[in-house]
Copies of this chain bind each other. A is one copy, B any other.
Amino acid sequence: MSAVEYTVDGQTYEGWLVMPDGKSNVPVVVIAHAWAGLGENEKQKAAIIAKEFGYAAFAVDVYGKGKRGTTVEENQALMNPLVGDRAELQKRLAGGLMAAKAQPGVDGSKAAAIGFCFGGLCVLDMARANQDVLGVASFHGLFRPAENIPQPKITAKVLIEHGWLDPMAQPQDVLAIAKEFEGADWQLHAHGRAYHSFTTQGANNKEMGTVYDADADRRSFAYLKTFLTEVFG
């Protein structure tokens, strides 16, 4: 595993690559980070994907090298400009995807993307923008549509792992994204007792609705494994 620098539009970003042992020409799973920026949680998921699933894992960075948040205010200050400028966000994601595909040992024809919270919104945007991924999977992601793609024509397979009690993506938002994605090959897995951040170990803020849930975490990753097996064929 190693940090990997890459540039998009002249700005430097720092991703994180984990390769599976003793394999080459493997599919790659791009990992989009939550609002704090690429950190331990994404690195941990990358390790699981390489070690247990046998794919290359490349955690992208959409904030820029060294730009990470440590407080709610910092996280919001990093995230909100991109949630409000989806064309810019999609450009940075496309750059990260290109970097992922260019890593030695990666089969650049087989890429998928997964993301957590804000990263869920990121990978849904990769699908909306028809970036070159076979499938995307969102975990407790935000569903807010992209203002620059009002009627997406999605070709990637889509898996949405969703905590039904998530205050940041409520039942009416589920109905809305189902409508937005109509015609695409999408699945939404609702976990009845899960809140936001159900895959984030240690999360336990009921007031904010961010709570780790071992059942939903384990189940959703098992579903991801099945999904990626299908996606990479």
Contact B193 A183 (CB under 8 A): yes
Q: Mark A182-196, 1 if CB is under 8 A from B, else 0.
A: 111111111111000
Residues of A that sit less than 8 Å from B by CB: 158, 164, 171, 175, 178, 181-193, 215, 219, 222-223, 226, 230
Given the contacts A171-B175, A223-B223, A226-B222, A184 and B189 also touching, CB distance less than 8 Å: no
Contact B187 A190 (CB under 8 A): yes
Q: List 8 A-B contacts (CB under 8 A).
A: A158-B192, A164-B178, A185-B215, A186-B193, A187-B192, A187-B219, A188-B190, A190-B190
Tell me the minimal C-beta distance from A89 to chain B in angstroms. Answer: 24
Kindly state the separation between the CA atoms of A193 and B182 in the bound complex, as whole angstroms: 8
Contacts of A187 on B, CB cut-off 8 Å?
189-192, 219
3 A-B pairs closest in CB distance: A186-B192, A188-B190, A189-B189
Kindly state the separation between the CA atoms of A185 and B219 in the bound complex, as whole angstroms: 12
- Identify the closest chain B residue to A154 (Cβ): B192
Contacts of A222 on B, CB cut-off 8 Å?
226
Contacts of A190 on B, CB cut-off 8 Å?
178, 187-190
Tell me the minimal C-beta distance from A87 to chain B in angstroms. Answer: 26
Contacts of A164 on B, CB cut-off 8 Å?
178, 188
- Identify the closest chain B residue to A182 (Cβ): B192
Tell me the minimal C-beta distance from A223 to chain B in angstroms. Answer: 7
Contacts of A186 on B, CB cut-off 8 Å?
192-193
Contacts of A230 on B, CB cut-off 8 Å?
219
- Identify the closest chain B residue to A177 (Cβ): B192
Kindly state the separation between the CA atoms of A64 and B226 in the bound complex, as whole angstroms: 39
Kindly state the separation between the CA atoms of A90 and B202 in the bound complex, as whole angstroms: 42
Kindly state the separation between the CA atoms of A192 and B157 in the bound complex, as whole angstroms: 11
Tell me the minimal C-beta distance from A20 to chain B in angstroms. Answer: 23
- Identify the closest chain B residue to A189 (Cβ): B189
